[in-house]
Chains A and B, each alone.
Chain A
Amino acid sequence: MTSSIRFVFVLIVGCGRVGSSLARAMLSQGHEVSCLDEDPESHARLEVGLDGGWEDLGGQFTVGAGLETEALEAAGIERADAFIASTDGDNTNIVISQIAQRRYGVPTVIARILDPLRAEWYERQGMHTVCPTRVAIDMLESAVLEGSTRETPGPSSDPAEAA
Chain B
Amino acid sequence: MYIIVVGAGKVGWNLARELLEKNHEVTLIESDRRRYLTVEQELEHNVTYGDASELWVLERAGIQRAEMVIAVTGDDEDNMLICQVAREKYEVERIIARVNNPRNKSHFDLLGIKPSVSATDLILRLLEHEVPEYGLVHLLDLQEEQLEIIEMLLGKDSGVTGRRVGDLEMPEGSLLISVLRSGKGFVPGPDTVLEEGDEVLAVLDPGHEEQLKTLFGPAENGAGSDG
Residues of A at the B interface (CB closer than 8 Å) are 67-69, 89-92, 94-95, 98-99, 102-103, 115, 117-118, 121, 125
Contacts and interface: CB of A to CB of B under 8 A. Distances in A.
B: contact size bracket: 10 to 19
B104 A67 contact: yes
Contacts of B85: 118, 121
Given A117-B55, A118-B55, A121-B89, A102 B110 contact: yes
B88 A99 contact: no
Contact of A92 (B77, B103, B106, B111): B77
Contacts of A91: 53, 75, 77-78, 80-81
A94 B88 contact: no
B53 A67 contact: no
Contacts, number: 43
A91 B85 CA distance: 12
Nearest to A68: B103
**Helix, strand, loop or mixed for chain B's interface?**
helix
Chief secondary structure at chain A's binding surface:
helix
A103 B111 CA distance: 10
A94 B106 CA distance: 16
Given A117-B55, A118-B55, A98 B110 contact: yes
Interface string B78-93: 1011000100110000
